[in-house]
Amino acid sequence: MARKIDVPALAKGVLDGSRATLARAITLVESNRPDHRQAAQQLLMELLPHAGGARRVGISGVPGVGKSTFIETLGTRLTGAGHRVAVLAVDPSSTRSKGSILGDKTRMAKLATDENAFVRPSPSAGTLGGVARATRETIVLMEAAGYDVVLVETVGVGQSEVTVAAMVDTFLLLTIARTGDSLQGIKKGILELADVVAVNKADGPHEKDAKAAARELAGALRLMTPTSESWRPPVLACSAQADTGMAEVWEQVEKHRSTLEASGELAGRRADQQVDWMWAMVRDQLMDRLQNDAGVKKALPGLERDVRTGDLTPTLAAQTILDALG
């Protein structure tokens, strides 16, 4: 028998800033069990009025660029300046390869023990849609718990950065200089999402290359359509390891947010994100219902077979599936 979930107690614990309760609440929103989903929705309804106050920053980059080092250094700086910092990760790949981006327990060791920081150690596994839902809801919980900076980390592969860009105020792309490789191997689509770009590892023998790469990227960005009319994405060089240039990167993140706030775009962006969230939920729940519907389940094997053999057009089969949905 499942134990009944005491939603008011969970809500109170989160609002009181209890780390253990926050961790439990995140586990609840990550769950796909129908009774958990229902409790999670109640919890979110109670906490939503207390959310929305944080700077939400997405941090993306391919494995090895230094994301965890960057978040550790930046997060420690921010808590030192009086902020309360929450970190979470979007890593849908973790279901396939056991080694998720947050699999290594030693990542962000300093920040993980900082009393003004909350690092969610392991991302939820599952489909990107499921992870996206859990991430959005986790942001609400972290804000309700009083964290005023939420850093959402994602690996720069696949669709996950598009998903993260759609739930933050500022999207920071982390990269490194790779000589001989035009645009440092960054996919154009990802560069287009960036509000701020930082070329990391600008230290020691790499410093010159990093600065050259930053100039090259700045040139490339000038040719692209910016994500906002009032903001041109700056490119900076920094070293997460040596803690140089980090204040300047954060300054640009703050400046991006205040520029968007002043122009009214921040409110518009967040409103758009709420509507996106609604549609993502509709898509998720429709897919769930489709996959669990008895009529659909019965019809599917035959339909798939006929589409494969060409006896049925995909359009007609799709219509039949939707008609079968009770």
Of 223, 30, 210, 31, nearest to 136 (Cα)? 30
The answer to whether residues 234 and 222 touch, using CB atoms and an 8 Å cutoff, is: no
In one-letter notation, the amino acid at residue 182 is S
Closest-approach residue to ligand GDP (CB): 66
Q: At what angle do helices 7-15 and 34-47 cross, to 10 degrees?
A: 40
Alpha-carbon distances, residue 121 vs 1, 90, 101, 125, 275 (angstroms): 28, 11, 10, 12, 29
Of 269, 184, 270, 189, nearest to 235 (Cα)? 184
Residues 171-210 that bind ligand GDP (CB under 6 A): 200-201, 203
The answer to whether residues 63 and 101 touch, using CB atoms and an 8 Å cutoff, is: yes
Residues 91-110 that bind ligand GDP (CB under 6 A): none
Minimum gap (Å) between residue 238 Cβ and ligand GDP: 7
Q: Of 145 and 198, which CB lies nearer to ligand GDP in the complex structure?
A: 198
Tokens of 253: 């993140």
Site map (CB under 6 A) of ligand GDP, residues 207-246, x = contact: --------------------------------xxx-----
Q: At what angle do helices 7-15 and 19-30 cross, to 10 degrees?
A: 130
Q: Of 26 and 237, which CB lies nearer to ligand GDP in the complex structure?
A: 237
Residue 148 within binding range of ligand GDP, rule CB under 6 A: no
Residue 67 within binding range of ligand GDP, rule CB under 6 A: yes
Site map (CB under 6 A) of ligand GDP, residues 68-87, x = contact: xx------------------
Q: Of 88 and 240, which CB lies nearer to ligand GDP in the complex structure?
A: 240
Q: Of 21 and 175, which CB lies nearer to ligand GDP in the complex structure?
A: 175
Residue 120 within binding range of ligand GDP, rule CB under 6 A: no
From candidates 13, 61, 123, 234, binder to ligand GDP by CB under 6 A: 61
Q: Of 204 and 264, which CB lies nearer to ligand GDP in the complex structure?
A: 204
Residues 249-288 that bind ligand GDP (CB under 6 A): none
Q: At what angle do helices 128-144 and 265-292 cross, to 10 degrees?
A: 130
DSSP codes of every residue in 227-296: SBTTB---EEE-BTTTTBSHHHHHHHHHHHHHHHHHHTHHHHHHHHHHHHHHHHHHHHHHHHHHHH-HHH
Q: Of 143 and 161, which CB lies nearer to ligand GDP in the complex structure?
A: 161
Of 42, 45, 31, 44, nearest to 2 (Cα)? 31
- Span of 63-71, 110-118, 159-167, 257-265 interacting with ligand GDP by CB under 6 A: 63-71
From candidates 64, 82, 301, 310, binder to ligand GDP by CB under 6 A: 64
Of 171, 184, 192, nearest to 59 (Cα)? 171
Binding site for ligand GDP (CB under 6 A): 61, 63-69, 200-201, 203, 239-241
